[in-house]
Amino acid sequence: MNDQEFDYLKQRILALAGIDLECYKSQQMRRRLEAFIAAQGMDTIPFCSVLARDPGALAKLRDFLTINVTEFFRDREQYQVLRTVILPKLLRRTDRLNIWSAGCSRGAEAYSTAMILQEISPGQAHRTLATDIDEGVLAVARKGGPYSPSDLKNVDRSLLLKYFTKSEEDLMVAPAIRRRVEFRKHNLLSDRFEPGFDLIICRNVTIYFSDGAKTKLLQGFHSSLKEQGVLFIGATETLLSAPSLGFEWIGKCFYRKSASSRLPQAQEAAAPLPRAVEGR
């Protein structure tokens, strides 16, 4: 694909799918798109014409671009820290947590958090907003599934029995948990961010975002979090620029919005664990 074809393809994808590829790592995205278009047995320009007239082809491309792999309690160890350290600490400050699962895919991460909250603060009404750019995954999330056995491999048996119902071979999230999560379409690269969150979970979403897009996203998350609010990211991600953006590292995958008047200077590797995580 030459430069002109790549530019044209980016324009078509923005117009047809609402995804701005300027916000993604350019060379990586180009290679991925070349491989995808070649696998369809086409060249770039004919592929653009197909996208304009075939909604199925557009949906397939959108799936490919957004990569919506997910599972419940992805990275068990980090969910354990969420359960035993982060959420109890946040709950000491408010009895109605406001949580945002950003880039939620089929809802596994938002539902995992809702299950933990039901376990540690039963009956308490927290709010969990879960958003994604992809309507297809949101439709599954809103119905509470179905989820396959591989989506559920990290779920403890006791939680499976309490919070899921069986539908043929697959499992659905039980209505009591489903009702606790509100799903909404939202593009992290262009839509407005709501303020007032105690916890933002954004995991495995930004791997193909450009550095500029990631920085803008973090600034948005910073404004959206309450003071001392927590950002929970993926196990393979790090926020090297976190201190300069007003976040302090408080343990693997967890960053806290620091008081703006005293931004921490230390780099992530040197930052001490918070007392809560140390004392685990």
Ligand X SMILES: C[S@@+](CC[C@H](N)C(=O)[O-])C[C@H]1O[C@@H](n2cnc3c(N)ncnc32)[C@H](O)[C@@H]1O
Q: Interface with ligand X by CB under 6 A: which residues?
A: 66-70, 74, 103-105, 108-109, 132-134, 137, 187-189, 203-205, 234
CB 209 to ligand X: min, Å:
8
CB 265 to ligand X: min, Å:
30
- Cβ atoms of residues 134 and 104 within 8 Å: no
Instruction: Dig out the tokens for 134 from the structure.
Output: 């992809």
Least Cα distance to 60 among 13, 20, 4, 122 occurs for: 13
CB 164 to ligand X: min, Å:
17
Q: Which stretches within the chain are classed as H helix?
A: 3-17, 26-39, 44-53, 55-66, 76-81, 87-91, 108-120, 135-143, 157-163, 175-178, 211-224, 275-278
- Cβ atoms of residues 125 and 96 within 8 Å: yes
Comparison of 79 and 247: residue with beta carbon closer to ligand X: 79
Least Cα distance to 221 among 244, 182, 193 occurs for: 193
- The DSSP symbol for 185 reads E
Comparison of 55 and 272: residue with beta carbon closer to ligand X: 55
- Cβ atoms of residues 248 and 256 within 8 Å: yes
- Cβ atoms of residues 107 and 132 within 8 Å: no
Comparison of 103 and 229: residue with beta carbon closer to ligand X: 103
Comparison of 24 and 163: residue with beta carbon closer to ligand X: 24
The DSSP secondary structure of 52-116, one letter per residue, reads HH-HHHHHHHHHHHH-----TTSSHHHHHHIIIIIHHHHHTT-SS-EEEEES-TTSHHHHHHHHH
CB 242 to ligand X: min, Å:
19
Single-letter code of the amino acid located at 273:
L
Comparison of 69 and 139: residue with beta carbon closer to ligand X: 69
Comparison of 118 and 206: residue with beta carbon closer to ligand X: 206
CB 171 to ligand X: min, Å:
17
CB 13 to ligand X: min, Å:
12
CB 65 to ligand X: min, Å:
8
Comparison of 242 and 253: residue with beta carbon closer to ligand X: 253
